[in-house]
Amino acid sequence: METLFAVIAAYVLGSIPAGLWVGKAFYNTDIRKMGSGNLGATNAFRTLGKKAGAAVTLIDILKGTAAVLLPLVIETDIHPLILGVAAVVGHIFPVFAGFRGGKAVATSGGVLLAYHWPLFVVMVLSFFLVLKLTKIVSLTSISLGFIAMAYTAVYVWLTGDWLLFIVIVILSVFIIYRHRSNIARIRAGTEPKVKWM
């Protein structure tokens, strides 16, 4: 019973639609009707500005972190990474926003922050490096999945933590799948580029 409760709690945490709530509460704006229509941090940055985008990013990261740390407050034998995946599913299909959510990048990062923070640091540094080179947020986000898989392949060889590698593959597939429309625009040369780097 405790395990089921923990999974549901993780999903509910992930379902918090930060982009929607921040937009409505402070900007009287539904970002689902603006920009890409996505609830994630990138659309928040584009439609609401830097402060809102930063706030949404932070909240989305902390959702994944909080889910992984749930065993500290809920007695359960379930592996923390499974709760992290439940939070990411909640972010993608949020019960509080008609099951139309974001693309899982920040929340996946929050899972890594709680479980293996060095990989989180590698992902943050990689994000800014790849974004500096490409100027395309979506391409950068997709690239992070491959970088994370390469990192964890070496990490598994050193530690035997196969579950981390499996979860990284699952999260990377989620992220790539959620960016399929962006991939089409990248191929067509029509994907927007950032102007601040």
pLDDT at 109: 96
In whole angstroms, give the CA distance from residue 11 to residue 94. Answer: 8
Whether the predicted pLDDT of 54 surpasses 90: yes
pLDDT at 38: 83
Read off the tokens for 125: 């540094």
pLDDT at 40: 85
Read off the tokens for 103: 């693309």
Whether the predicted pLDDT of 197 surpasses 70: no
- Read off the pLDDT of residues 134-177 as tens digits, 9 standing for 90 and up: 999 999 999 999 999 999 999 999 999 999 999 999 999 999 99
Q: Parse the chain into domains and list their residue ranges.
A: 2-188
